[in-house]
Structure 1
Amino acid sequence: MAKLILNNVSKDFGTGRPAVSGLSLEVREGGFLALLGPSGCGKTTVLRMIAGFEAPSDGAIYLGERLLADSEKSLPPERRNMAMVFQSYALWPHMTVAENVGYPLKVRGVSKDIHRARIGEALDTVRLADYADRRPADLSGGQRQRVALARCLVTQPDVVLLDEPLANLDRHLRQEMEETFRDFHRRSGATMVYVTHDQSEAMALATDIAVMSHGKLLQVAPPEEIYARPEGRLVGGLIGRGAILSLALPDGAPRKIDWQALREGLDKPSPADRPMADVLVRPEDVHLSGEGLAARIRASLYEGERYSLTLELDDGQTLRAFSRHRPQIDEPTRVTITGAWRL
């Protein structure tokens, strides 16, 4: 295996705005990268260029030292040693599970002994060895998805590409399949690129998250870093929950802001000559406290183990917070904020 590298890649379909513009990133060997962003941001186009279904208009794609594509030439998909899993499982209904999994090997003319051994290994990896003789109609949606994963593995690909593979599953089955994907990645050691618009999926699965918007790459970082230290308002709003406050901060203020600086910025009128800063506040850092700033509870949503609150400060700005107890709407309260991040 080798590192997957996208160097200043662009794709223009001639619609007036590039679908992907100047995107550069590296997917480390054996890593699990989630391409995250809203619909139409270009993430599926990036995946299709990696797979070889689209050629870049500019830039280049490498797998280690091997050039896969640039603006002048592009290796066809079958010569890239990659496997792809789609939203629809694309299983042959008349074939058994083992026949579906082994079909790529049959096309390649692999010998029967190797064919049988690889099918067994792939089904073991996705824990479906006991289902080898069943047909897709006899399986659940999650089991069909695991058959599609096993079919990827038999060719021993350098990279596995996944295009919103959980989009057609219900919430309970998605959570179950997230565990399957984590286990699949750990057991197979494959490099994986996963397209999703669901930030909770990306946070749960990936070793790194690449956030995209309007065809551009905004930030690449591990989930913990991108949650705690997002770059820019769009990334801060897309990853996790929270509120973005606007307040005046002194020149040279650090990115990580403590309660004293926050209170001063919110409690006093903003100097006219001081620029305003966007500050991200996560709900777990907001605490109802008699020593804090005046606020009013504007909304409450019960989430099972807690209530999710929307709070309004005296200046009209809003915060998100959690509470173990049911509050009264429009009830006055006071809040302290234990930390925040300047975007």
Structure 2
Amino acid sequence: MAKLILNRVAKDFGTGRAAVSNLSIDVREGGFLALLGPSGCGKTTVLRMIAGFETPTDGSLHLGERLLADASQSLPPERRNMAMVFQSYALWPHMSVADNVGYPLKVRGVSGEAYRRKVGEALATVRLEAYAERRPADLSGGQRQRVALARCLVTSPDVVLLDEPLANLDRHLKQEMEETFREFHQRSGATMVYVTHDQSEAMALATDVAVMSEGQLLQVAPPDEIYARPEGRVVGGLIGRGAIVSLRSPDGDVRQLDWAAVEPLFSGEGGSASRADVLVRQEDVVLGGEGIAATVESVLYEGERYAARLRLADGQILRAFSRSKLAVGDDVRAMIRGAWRL
């Protein structure tokens, strides 16, 4: 196994704007990288360049010391020792589960005891040994996705690529499959690159999250770091469910703000005349006390709590959670335990 390296990779389809521009990422051996961003941000194009389905127009891709592609040459997909899992499962309906899993081995000429052993090990990894002789039509959506995982594992790939594999599943099944993916990663030890537009999936599964927008890499970091310390409005808006407010800029280069630091900025009594974007997470807003005056603009009951949208006197928005029932139009006070200057 080796490190996957993307060095200043770009892809231009000649449409007037590059699909991917100057992107550099090192995916650690055995890591789980999530490429996160809205539709059209270039994340699937990056995945296709890693797989060998697209050739970069600039930069290079390496797997360890081996060059996979640059602007002048590209190793074909079948010589990269990678496997890909799609949204659609892409299973052969007329084949049994075992035959679907073993198909890549047959293509490589593996047969006999080695074939049966590898198929059995792959099915055991995804806990489908008992379903070996069934057809895909007899399985649930989650079981079919696990067959697709076993099929990509059977050839012991260096890298597993996943193109929004949970997009077609309902909420309950998606949560179940997230656990399957975590277990699959731990048991297989494979390096994984996972494309998604769902930040909750990225945060739950990945060891590192790379946030993209309009073909650019904005930030790459472990999930807890990218949540706590996002860089810029786009990342701050994509990760979590906070609100970004414009305030007087705090003095110095401090970025982590507590109530004592942030209250004067809201009141206009502290900071400098210049403005700063400040991210305030819902969980850091406490209703009550001697906080900032706000009016409840909307309320959504989430079962264990209420999620409220609050409008401040200057028209800016905060978001908050409340255990107590709120009504639209209520006047409340909001204290902010912590905030992050972007």
What pairs up with 1:151-230 in 2 under 5 angstroms? 151-230=151-230
> Is the contact between residue 2 and residue 158 of structure 1 (CA under 8 Å) also seen in structure 2?
yes
| 1:290–1:333 Cα contact (<8 Å) kept | no
Alignment partner, residue 140 of structure 2: 140
After superposition, residues 300-311 of structure 1 pair within 5 angstroms as: 300-311=299-310
CA apart distance, 1:56: 0.5
Q: CA deviation at 1:325?
A: 1.3
Q: Which residue identity does 1:160 align to in structure 2?
A: V
The residue type paired with residue 255 of structure 2 is: R
8 Å Cα contact 2:248/2:268 also seen in 1: no
- Kindly provide the CA deviation profile for residues 155-187 of structure 1, in whole angstroms up to 9, marking residues without a partner as x: 000000000001111111111110100010011
Give me the whole-angstrom Cα distance separating, in 2, the residues matched to 1:44 and 1:187: 26
**Cα distance in 1 for residues equivalent to 2:238 and 2:312:** 23
TM-score (norm 1): 0.98
Aligned counterpart, 1:274? 273
Tell me the CA shift for residue 332 of structure 1.
Answer: 0.9
The residue number in structure 1 matching 2:113 is 113
Inter-partner Cα distance in structure 1 for 2:101 and 2:127: 13
How far apart, CA to CA, are the structure 1 residues paired with 2:207 and 2:335?
Answer: 33
Q: CA deviation at 1:269?
A: 6.1
State the 4+ residue runs in structure 1 displaced beyond 2 angstroms: 268-271
Deviation track 1:207-234 (CA, whole Å, cap 9, x = no partner) reads 1000000000000000000000000000
- Is contact 1:247-1:270 (8 Å) kept? no
- Residues paired across the two proteins, number: 342
Q: Distance in 2 between matches of 1:11 and 1:206?
A: 25
Which residue in 2 is equivalent to 1:17? 17
1:250 deviation in Å?
Answer: 3.7
Structure-2 change in CA distance of 1:4 and 1:32 (3 Å): same
3-state SS, counterpart of residue 201 of structure 2 = helix
Task: Give the SS at the match of 1:179.
Answer: helix
RMSD: 1.1
Note if contact 1:279-1:341 (Cα within 8 Å) is conserved in structure 2: yes
Q: Distance in 2 between matches of 1:296 and 1:60?
A: 53
Corresponding residue number in structure 2 for 1:327:
326
AA aligned opposite 1:51: A
Tell me what 1:293 maps to: 292
CA distance in 1, matches of 2:44, 2:340: 30
Deviation of residue 318 (structure 1)?
1.1
Match for 1:178: what amino acid? E
Give the TM-score, by structure 2 length.
0.98
Check the 8 A contact 1:250/1:274 in 2, yes or no. no
Describe the SS at the equivalent of 2:254.
coil
| Residues 257-266 or 116-125, more deviating | 257-266
Q: Is the 8 A contact 1:19 1:45 kept in 2?
A: yes
Contact 2:250 2:270 in 1 (8 A): no
Deviations 1:27-56 (A, max 9, x none): 000000000000000000000000000010
Distance 2:327 2:108 in 1: 66
Separation in 1, partners of 2:88, 2:37? 20
> Unpaired runs of 5+ in structure 2?
none
Uncovered stretches (5+) of structure 1, i.e. residues with no partner? none
Partner of 1:54: 54
- Could you tell me how far apart the structure 1 residues matched to 2:250 and 2:257 are? 11
